Structure 1
Amino acid sequence: MVETAGCCGLLQACCHRHDPQKYIIQGEFEIDRSPWFSLCASGLSVAVRLYSRDNMDPTTRKGIESENAYVMKGKELERKKHEVLSMKVPTKVIKFKLKFEVTRDFGIPGAFVVENRDKKHEFFLKSVTLHYIKHPDFLEERKFHFYCSSWVYPINKTGFKRIFFLDQLYLPKKTPDSLKELRKKELHKLQAPGSKGEWNPWDRIYDYDFYNNLGDPENGPLYDRPVLGGSTKFPYPRRLKTGHPNCQHDHSRESGPASCFKFYVPPDERMSDEKLQELKNNLVEALIRFLAPESTLQHLWDRECPDFITKVAHFFVPKAAISKKDVEFIRSIIDFCRKLKLPSSHGGPSMSDPSEEQDIFDDIIGFYADKEVEELDDSDKQRLEKLVPKEILNQVVATLALKRQHVSAQLPSIIAEEKFAWAEDREFGRQMLAGTNPVRIRHLKEEALFQEEVNLLLYRIWQKMVAYASESSEDSVPAVRQEMESIKRQFRDWFKKFQVQQEKKSNQPQLEEFFEALENERVFILDHHYLEQFLTMINGKGVRAYATRTILIAPDSSSVTLQPVGIELSLPGDSSRLVVPQDTLLWEIAKFHVASNDTAYHQLVSHWLQTHAVVEPFIIATRRQLSVMHPIHRLLDPHFKDTLHINALARAIFLNAGGILETLLFTGEYSMELSSHLYKEWRFDKQALPEDLLERGMAKRRVRDEVVSGPMEHVERDKSSNKAATGTEQKMFEVDAEVELVLEDYPYAKDGIVIWTAIETWVTEYCNVFYHKDNDVKEDEEIQEWWNEIKTRGHKDRNEGWYDINTFESLVKALTTLIWITSGLHAAVNFGQYGYGGWPPNRPMLLRKFLPKEEEVYEEVNIMKFVEEMLPDKFQMKLAIAVMDLQSRHTSDEVYLGQTSPQKEWPLIEGHDSIIQKSSKNSRKTLKQ
């Protein structure tokens, strides 16, 4: 049971005599992560003043004010301690009760200001709950909630009092007159116009800047990187401005802080100390688990029972009959048995001759084994010093030096059941639909096949298949030649008029399957040919990369996978190489190169660019242009949690010059340039899941009873008769189109459409509470400024793909798209990374050898040695596994889609409480199914 002790908080403390002409409002203030409060001796350290929502002071044009109340030294009501992994981080939650004297016409409190007069310490204000004491018009049970969740710094540092608003949402024109001035004042502070110099931890400034802090030119030309954003050559979304000083010798570049954990992030955007420590601990554990070498000391079992083997042997045989040599022989047998491979999925030991070509993969599997580890190798330690923050490396070294660590790791799901399932063609194709990067595969629709290079690629694949088929069946050669001539004549018409006349033969099943797929438009492409223009710069320094194009076919529309049938590998200024499955060893090696291309695209574009970088301008604009009282601010806020801080960490550790991604990916120092190049293709209107699927040809649009290919056309609707919704059953507009998937089993799309629909339904019903007609959207000045700033400042380099938000429908579409990007899309490309990428041969980040020449393949070549020399070195593979492990983890404070943060329940909207609560509940129910 929580105690209710504490001072009254009035100006003259407990001895103050209450004015009978005034009412008393009592409030409970909950303060978190502020241990200094329990030691605070001053009775005037924090002053609080209330503002009326209902009545305005004509002089100040703000709500009528209360008397000041002061947080005084009181009794700590509640203490909590959170344990984060092995480290205990004390977190105090303190509650104070304050009382305010207000005039009889004060009405409902709509806002309050806090003045922190302590000269050294900040505190985190979680929430405030107010209620009247003995008011004739307000029952004491009626509570007025303020969900603050914000840092309050000393006023001698900030120069501003902090403003907090009642948890009541208003469109700008619906804001009570008494709160309008405060609403504008708070937004103006966040925009901080004219701010100059280096910003401090207590500043609450949101502004835009270029990506001019990835390089470190003062450390030498090897660390110089171009500025991304603000040019046609290197377009990019804007990032949060940090206010750090420019480099001494190049004022277009920003210098970094002394530590990557000391860069500027607005206080309320920082992740909690507990979460930050949890992330650090996760990184330390991953580095120890995968990079620390196995102990060379005696096995733990042998150390604990040094004479166990001898005792067991003597139990069966008299001591005099066993020599020391016999004991050593028995021990060698036990050691051999200990090294046996785990049973295969078919049962029985998977014993194999050491000379068989599996050694490299067995060696990699050793990374995950239960083992005791010792201190890092000097070479690995030196390489890590350049990649991870000093405090992280120090923690790794200290942990290993403190005591011997026993570590274990769960096998990545891709090899957990069958060690070599990942190498099969069908699994290779399945991962294009259900792996870590299911957003790049495209369907070769009829209109796309008029591209000369795609036509040529398909034709070359067909030719090569025909050649292999003709070698196995001499009597089919004339028919094959006849078909070849026919296809040559009619290829540009995409086989529409071509009918396969050849008699079906059992020795040509793949050729016939290919013909059938062509005729029925079941051909797909994974295109990474954009890499060709970068390869001259990339290849070298131990990296060997191609620009690949992979053709896959679906045996039928309900196929559970895609079958790869051809891979084109290109180098600049060189004729491309084409490999088909019948090329056997070359085919297996070519798939490594495709996976490497796809991994780089996944890390730099699908994950970083499309779910982190492009979202940052939306967050900045939301803070600058949408008041916390705006319903759309409240709707979006949970989806922005910690993103600015995470992005800043990514720029400082992963994306920086010489950082982790440049070390691991074959794109190296050109990684972010490549990301900039592919940003040229990004359009906001195509980020909506249905539009994305239609654009890639992975879905068709069904309008009434007709299926239509291609992106959805904008359908004008007459909204003149729209009226306010009175319940969740009434919709603002009728959906007249639905998406039909081209492939029945496309998990990303199939599950994604369910999530997209749930988001869209929730957003529609939520917005319906506040916007009753299209004109409400047009007249919402904050929304209009928000959207304009996103287009003209945050994404200034991308002029295409934007639409006006001047109707209810366009607002819902934009919000649904943004929430989808930050939730469903991000989860799809992030949390499965360890399951697939945690096994480096399945998703190699770089390769060190080109394909061997065809004549070399048939010579006596040690293929396992070739693969070992082609894959990244062991340090790179182990670091990649550690990074995949880190990125795939959920943190302890995760809030999942459909959930509501405990600190921010949905506010009570006058007249619409049941609608909001019911819609939120229905959304959660849909997502759980």
Structure 2
Amino acid sequence: MAETTCCGLRTCCHRPHPENDIIEGTFEIDHSPRICLLPTLRSVAIQIYSADVFDPYTRSGLESKKAYLQKWKINVNPSTIKYKLNFEVVRGFGSPGAFVVENRCRHEFFLKSATFKYKSPAPDREEKAFFFHCASWVYPLDKTEVKRIFFANRLYLPEKTPPGLVALRKKELKQLRGRGLKDERQPWDRIYDYECYNDLGDPDNSPEYSRPILGGSKEYPYPRRLRTGRPPSQHDHLTESRPVGCLRTFVPPDERLSPKKQEQLRNNFVKALVRFLTPKSDQPPQSYQECPKIIQKILHFFVPKSAFSTADFSMIQSIVDFVLRKPKSPSHQDTQSVDPIDDIVAIFSDKQLKEMDERVKQKLKKLVPAEIFNQVVDATTKRDVLSSQPPSIMAEDQYDWLFDSEFGRQMLAGTNPVRIQSLEKFSPREGWLPENLDLIEKAKSEAEAYFVLDHDYLRPFLSVINAQGVCAYATRTILKTSGRGDILEPIAIQLRLPDSEMDMVLDPGALEWDLAKAHVAANDAAHHQLVSHWLHTHAIIEPFIIATRRQLSVMHPIHWLLDPHFKDTLHINALARGIFLNAGGILERTLFTGAFSMRLSSHFYKQWRFDEQALPNDLEKRGMAKNAEESVRDGNFSEIKEKPAEKEPENIGEEDLAKKTENVVGRYEGLAEIDENMVERDEGMAETHENVAEFDEGVAETDENVVERDEGVAETDENVVELDKNPATPDEKVTFPAGVKLLLEDYPYAKDGVEIWDAIETWVRAYCQIFYTSDHSVENDEEIRDWWKEITSVGHGDQKEGWYDLQTLKNLVRALTTLIWITSGMHAAVNFGQYAYAGWPPNRPMLLRKFIPKEGTKEYEDMQKDPEKFFVKMLPEKFEMEFVIAVMDLLSRHTSDEVYLGQRPPDNMLKEEKEVNKKFKEFRERLQEIEGNILERNKKYNLHNRWGYAKIPYKLLYPDTSKTRGPSEEEDICGRGIPNSISI
């Protein structure tokens, strides 16, 4: 780190007035590698403002004399350079509370931090450093027309703002709101404003790329996005024109991804496209350098590199392939016995690259930015050897996904665990066939638990969707828990088309059963991408970020609390609108909903309510949990611990054994083989491993993380619900994280989620109580009042229901907890498992090309002869599958500069707020306890939904607060922690 020192005053020989003080300032500037800062005499002026002493003439704090940055480094490598300046201030100046930068240089620079300290000690003044966390770009004054204001790392509610900072606080917020101009934003503009989604279409390119505007109408309500101010398109003046390059969409400087992260995301995408889209070379690797990295690392751990020959590597590679059951290349097999699924499996095999097919190039060119495309083409000329991590769902066995119980498990622990609901909460609507209604009434009258996965909302739109060349049904799936704990299995699937005569209901005994499950999976995949992932996290949060920047000062405690959870989101959303969501973009070309995709998202926004995004409220709404107080009053709290595995009856017969495995792909005339990774039974007794809970006369031993009971007495912690009404025992207490009792204890998303939610809420409550002493102090906070009003009336102006009355501390805590949960836990749960599940196209196809054939047709006969071949024909074309796999790979990867829940950058900690730091440390420690709970639950074999047949441990909500990530984990793209923000 270089350092340069100067007095900063007009001349180096200047002597301050004897009655004045000198404050020494240290500035850390991160030089950009692309610019050269010229050593002009007075290019950058800095002036300090007092926090304590108010100047009645300027209406701001007392000002220091200006000091100037005079010595610059020319053409330095990217590094942080410290500059020291001396500021002359009047005696009694007080504490530096803000400083203003006037950049008259030709270039911007990145100011990391500043620290001020009085140079001469004084007996009546506390000697300490005043720290300013800046982390912001400072652009030339001739471009911005405003000086940059920075405030010290101290937090104040508006009414408690030091007198010297009141005017500056208001001035800074006014600058961020802009002057109401709708001109096109420039890279240096720090202006936050709202706009409808009028930038998805591209009518200037072709009329087929015209799209309706989302937001601002009853037909298409939607959250607002960040305004870019681009001019209207020529063929539709209501539609914003497309940017010159989709990677150059405007976002304010402080919201941009770091150059390092941009490069990493670009490289991740290029590598994924190369890995999955380029054909495999006919010649196998011939040298050590071509050996996959994982084999190299294993060998180097035991034996020096020089001790192995090429033949040795080839032999070891073949052994590994055999152990992993990797399929041989089709060229080495009998062409008459090639399994259709093997062609898809081959996508994940190690390969030596050869040049990409011209037809593939032309398809790819339409889907990705030119910059990405050119890098992909260049990479294919290098003939590298690439290996890929197979998606977890097929890593053990390529048929594990076909089990009915795995199909049900993914609704609780897969990529979209937020859609399933209890049948008790589901109201039958138009379209249910008589047998469905009878089943529902029977289910509601029985004690067993029944559930529904409803995608019938598609039916009104199917005529438009299927006209695009895809084959989609509106589906409803009924599931019930089996006799083995909380394992969900589908028992009926309803398929509907606009023509009601085409409706059908299938059960597990039908030949078409697995085809029906594929249609359900495709519907759920579209709902996941457009609603659970994009709408309910990315799009919903954007107006909150804009309002926070416009209405909450950086000195406001709530701004500091939320800021880490908004990192990079505006830029990620802008890239999504330019690459994924736009007309002809990735989602339109890969999802069966096609050009209708964003309109479907708008349809779901009509049903969205902010209060229902709180995890406990969401679980209660879907009937997947009950309010703890109600459960206690009803006396329904007897089963809080995980259930032990039930023993199988002895001497099980062959028929019973066959029934237990009838959902395997073996239903396709014995097509799939059950390997050693399935639960094996010998005379009905389950074999257990070393982590299995031991049973002695039917009593399950529980570990330290389980709520223990002795004769109905529950141990309690902070989050306790007292049994004060009709208790079984008057003094009895029971623990319910997040205040809810789950209907299914083995519901991984909910089980881990309520603990994460509870930890967040405890932290937020403790934090808010440091600054707000009562409901009255919340009500009197003018910035919070304006912030909430702008969110509800502008940012989410199309949605009038479901908003908290933010005049009480309780409601403020609930609202803030909901925001942090959405940006951290909820987004992690619906994003980072995409490659594990959707990276295997047969498990979650994005579209299907065939309907289920009618009995008596030629297609039906073909399906009977070779069901698996027919199933593969239903899937997308190979290029579409390969491209989707690459996208899932990109979206599931964490970046190296990610900050995780329970973590904060060291320079953003509040050094003087000891109580805040203490509570944050407690939050972090609580998350570490939850990590232990999750690891212990993942060891329990009887909790089937945490693993499934595919052996995928549920770690999407594993906080991972202290793990140090290194290059050795490059291929590990799943379960690596909960990022603070929606930054991918």
TM over 0.5: yes
Q: How much has 1:540 moved relative to structure 2?
A: 3.3
In structure 2, the residue matched to 1:482 is none
Secondary structure, counterpart of 2:187 in structure 1: coil
Q: Summarize deviations over 1:866-907 as a string: whole Å, max 9, x none.
A: 122210000000000000000000001000011012341135
Q: Is the 8 A contact 2:756 2:927 kept in 1?
A: no
Q: Is the 8 A contact 1:579 1:587 kept in 2?
A: no
Q: Is the 8 A contact 1:126 1:903 kept in 2?
A: no
In structure 2, the residue matched to 1:605 is 531
Matched, 1:255 2:255: no
In structure 2, the residue matched to 1:880 is 884
Q: Is the 8 A contact 1:216 1:657 kept in 2?
A: yes
* 1:300 paired residue among 285, 294, 311: 285
* 1:396 paired residue among 353, 373, 376: 376
* 1:642 paired residue among 568, 591, 595: 568
Matches within 5 A, 1:95-244: 95-118=82-105, 120-137=106-123, 142-244=128-230
Secondary structure, counterpart of 2:53 in structure 1: strand
In structure 1, the residue matched to 2:30 is 32
Q: How much has 1:9 moved relative to structure 2?
A: 3.4
Q: Match of 2:845, as an amino acid?
A: P
TM-score, normalising length: structure 2: 0.78
Structure 1 residues 456 and 448 mapped into 2: Cα distance closer, same or farther (>3 Å)? farther
Q: Is the 8 A contact 2:151 2:555 kept in 1?
A: yes
Structure 1 residues 234 and 137 mapped into 2: Cα distance closer, same or farther (>3 Å)? farther
In structure 2, the residue matched to 1:904 is 908
In structure 2, the residue matched to 1:308 is none
In structure 1, the residue matched to 2:799 is 798
Q: Is the 8 A contact 1:415 1:839 kept in 2?
A: yes
Q: Match of 1:706, as an amino acid?
A: R
Q: Distance in 1 between matches of 2:572 and 2:158?
A: 31
Q: Match of 2:763, as an amino acid?
A: W
Q: Distance in 1 between matches of 2:151 and 2:339?
A: 65
Secondary structure, counterpart of 1:886 in structure 2: helix
Secondary structure, counterpart of 2:380 in structure 1: helix
In structure 2, the residue matched to 1:569 is 495
Matched, 1:780 2:781: yes
Q: How much has 1:299 moved relative to structure 2?
A: 3.1
Q: Distance in 1 between matches of 2:4 and 2:327?
A: 70
Q: How much has 1:249 moved relative to structure 2?
A: 2.9
Q: Distance in 2 between matches of 1:914 and 1:795?
A: 33
Structure 1 residues 547 and 336 mapped into 2: Cα distance closer, same or farther (>3 Å)? farther
Q: Is the 8 A contact 2:448 2:481 kept in 1?
A: no
Q: Summarize deviations over 1:6-56 as a string: whole Å, max 9, x none.
A: 222322242222322111111211111434787531231111000001101
Q: Distance in 1 between matches of 2:287 and 2:391?
A: 30
RMSD: 3.1
In structure 1, the residue matched to 2:605 is 679
Q: Summarize deviations over 1:794-826 as a string: whole Å, max 9, x none.
A: 111111111210100000000000110000000
The share of aligned pairs that are identical, in percent, is 54
Q: Is the 8 A contact 2:479 2:491 kept in 1?
A: yes
* 1:94 paired residue among 42, 66, 81: 81
Q: How much has 1:375 moved relative to structure 2?
A: 1.9
Q: Distance in 2 between matches of 1:441 and 1:853?
A: 29
Matched, 1:385 2:365: yes
Q: Is the 8 A contact 2:611 2:803 kept in 1?
A: yes
Q: Distance in 2 between matches of 1:107 and 1:137?
A: 13
Q: Summarize deviations over 1:661-717 as a string: whole Å, max 9, x none.
A: 1110000010001111111111001000000000000001121722499xxxxxxxx
* 2:395 paired residue among 410, 413, 416: 416
Q: Match of 2:552, as an amino acid?
A: L
Q: Is the 8 A contact 1:213 1:253 kept in 2?
A: yes
Q: Distance in 2 between matches of 1:841 and 1:748?
A: 23
Q: Is the 8 A contact 2:909 2:917 kept in 1?
A: no
Structure 1 residues 739 and 112 mapped into 2: Cα distance closer, same or farther (>3 Å)? same
Q: Distance in 2 between matches of 1:303 and 1:98?
A: 57
Q: How much has 1:863 moved relative to structure 2?
A: 2.3
Q: How much has 1:520 moved relative to structure 2?
A: 1.2
Q: Summarize deviations over 1:344-401 as a string: whole Å, max 9, x none.
A: 7899999999578862211111111111112221111111111100011011112223
Structure 1 residues 68 and 56 mapped into 2: Cα distance closer, same or farther (>3 Å)? same
Structure 1 residues 740 and 451 mapped into 2: Cα distance closer, same or farther (>3 Å)? same
Q: Summarize deviations over 1:837-879 as a string: whole Å, max 9, x none.
A: 1101001000000001134546653323312221000000000
Q: Match of 1:525, as an amino acid?
A: V
Structure 1 residues 619 and 456 mapped into 2: Cα distance closer, same or farther (>3 Å)? farther
Q: Summarize deviations over 1:603-655 as a string: whole Å, max 9, x none.
A: 00000000100100000000000000000000000000000000000000000
In structure 1, the residue matched to 2:541 is 615
Q: Distance in 2 between matches of 1:219 and 1:37?
A: 36
Greater mean alpha carbon deviation, residues 341-350 or residues 755-764? 341-350
Q: Distance in 2 between matches of 1:601 and 1:429?
A: 16
In structure 2, the residue matched to 1:553 is 480
Question: For this pair of structures, how many residues does the alignment match?
Answer: 812
In structure 2, the residue matched to 1:537 is 464
In structure 2, the residue matched to 1:458 is 436
Matched, 1:73 2:45: no
Q: Is the 8 A contact 1:344 1:350 kept in 2?
A: no
Q: Match of 2:480, as an amino acid?
A: I
Greater mean alpha carbon deviation, residues 130-139 or residues 565-574? 130-139
Structure 1 residues 302 and 23 mapped into 2: Cα distance closer, same or farther (>3 Å)? closer
Q: Distance in 1 between matches of 2:530 and 2:760?
A: 26
Structure 1 residues 926 and 32 mapped into 2: Cα distance closer, same or farther (>3 Å)? farther
In structure 2, the residue matched to 1:53 is 51
In structure 1, the residue matched to 2:772 is 771
Q: Match of 2:7, as an amino acid?
A: G
Secondary structure, counterpart of 1:877 in structure 2: helix
Q: How much has 1:602 moved relative to structure 2?
A: 0.3
Q: Match of 2:436, as an amino acid?
A: L
Matched, 1:702 2:628: yes
Q: Is the 8 A contact 1:246 1:252 kept in 2?
A: yes
Q: How much has 1:251 moved relative to structure 2?
A: 1.5
Q: Distance in 2 between matches of 1:115 and 1:291?
A: 51
Structure 1 residues 21 and 731 mapped into 2: Cα distance closer, same or farther (>3 Å)? farther
Q: Summarize deviations over 1:322-361 as a string: whole Å, max 9, x none.
A: xxxxxxxxxxxx9999999954789999999957886221
TM-score, normalising length: structure 1: 0.83
In structure 1, the residue matched to 2:895 is 891
Q: How much has 1:542 moved relative to structure 2?
A: 3.1
Matches within 5 A, 1:419-458: 419-445=398-424, 448-449=426-427, 451=429, 453=431, 456=434, 458=436
Q: Is the 8 A contact 1:449 1:455 kept in 2?
A: no
* 1:270 paired residue among 246, 256, 259: 256
Structure 1 residues 655 and 452 mapped into 2: Cα distance closer, same or farther (>3 Å)? closer
Q: Distance in 2 between matches of 1:751 and 1:48?
A: 50
Q: Distance in 1 between matches of 2:139 and 2:929?
A: 42
Q: How much has 1:439 moved relative to structure 2?
A: 0.3
Structure 1 residues 19 and 8 mapped into 2: Cα distance closer, same or farther (>3 Å)? farther
Q: Distance in 1 between matches of 2:537 and 2:209?
A: 26
Q: Is the 8 A contact 1:201 1:267 kept in 2?
A: yes
Q: Is the 8 A contact 1:215 1:224 kept in 2?
A: yes
Greater mean alpha carbon deviation, residues 855-864 or residues 658-667? 855-864
Secondary structure, counterpart of 1:854 in structure 2: coil
Secondary structure, counterpart of 2:231 in structure 1: coil
Q: Match of 1:685, as an amino acid?
A: D
Structure 1 residues 216 and 37 mapped into 2: Cα distance closer, same or farther (>3 Å)? closer
Q: Distance in 1 between matches of 2:496 and 2:503?
A: 6
Q: Distance in 2 between matches of 1:11 and 1:906?
A: 31
Q: How much has 1:580 moved relative to structure 2?
A: 3.5
